[in-house]
Chain A
Amino acid sequence: MTTGQARVLVWDWTVRLFHWLTVLLVASMWWTAEEGMMDWHRRIGMILVGLISYRIVWGLIGPPTARFARMVPTPQAALAYLGDLRAGRHKVSLGHNPVGVLSVFAMLLALTVQVSTGLFSVDVDGIESGPLSRHVSFETGRLFAEIHETSFNILLALIVLHVLAIATYLVFFKDNLVRPMVTGRRASTDFDASVADNRAGLIRVVIALAAAFAAMSAIWFAGG
Chain B
Amino acid sequence: MNIRRTSIAIALFAGASLLGACSKAAAPETAGPVVLENGLTAKEQIETRQAQLKKMGKAFKAMNDEMKAETPDVAALQAAAAALKLESGGIEDWFPAGTGPDSGVKTEALAAIWENPADFAEKLSDFRAASDSLAEVAPGGDLAAIGDAMRVTGMSCKSCHDTYREDD
Interface, chain A (partner B; CB < 8 A)? 36, 122-127, 129, 133-134, 138-139, 141, 149, 223-224
Contact = CB atoms under 8 A, between A and B. Distances in A.
A139 B61 CA distance: 10
Contacts of B57: 122-127, 138
B168 A126 contact: no
A124 B168 contact: yes
Interface residues of B, number: 21
B56 interface: yes
Contacts of A129: 61, 64
Contacts of A126: 56-64
Contacts of A133: 61, 65
Interface of B: 53-54, 56-65, 68-70, 154, 157-158, 161-162, 168
Given A124-B168, A125-B157, A126-B56, A141 B61 contact: yes
Contacts of B53: 124
A148 B94 CA distance: 30
Contacts of B59: 126
A129 B58 CA distance: 12
A125 B68 contact: no
A127 B60 CA distance: 6
Contacts of A125: 56-57, 60, 154, 157-158, 161
12 contacts: A123-B57, A126-B57, A126-B59, A126-B61, A126-B64, A127-B60, A127-B64, A127-B157, A138-B54, A138-B62, A141-B61, A224-B70
A149 B57 CA distance: 19
A123 B168 contact: yes
Contacts of B61: 122, 126, 129, 133, 138, 141
A224 B68 contact: yes
Nearest to B155: A127
Given A126-B56, A126-B59, A127-B60, A134 B157 contact: no
A116 to B, nearest CB: 19
B88 to A, nearest CB: 12
Contact of B69 (A36, A141, A224): A224
A127 B160 CA distance: 14
A159 B60 CA distance: 36
A123 B167 CA distance: 12
Nearest to A149: B168
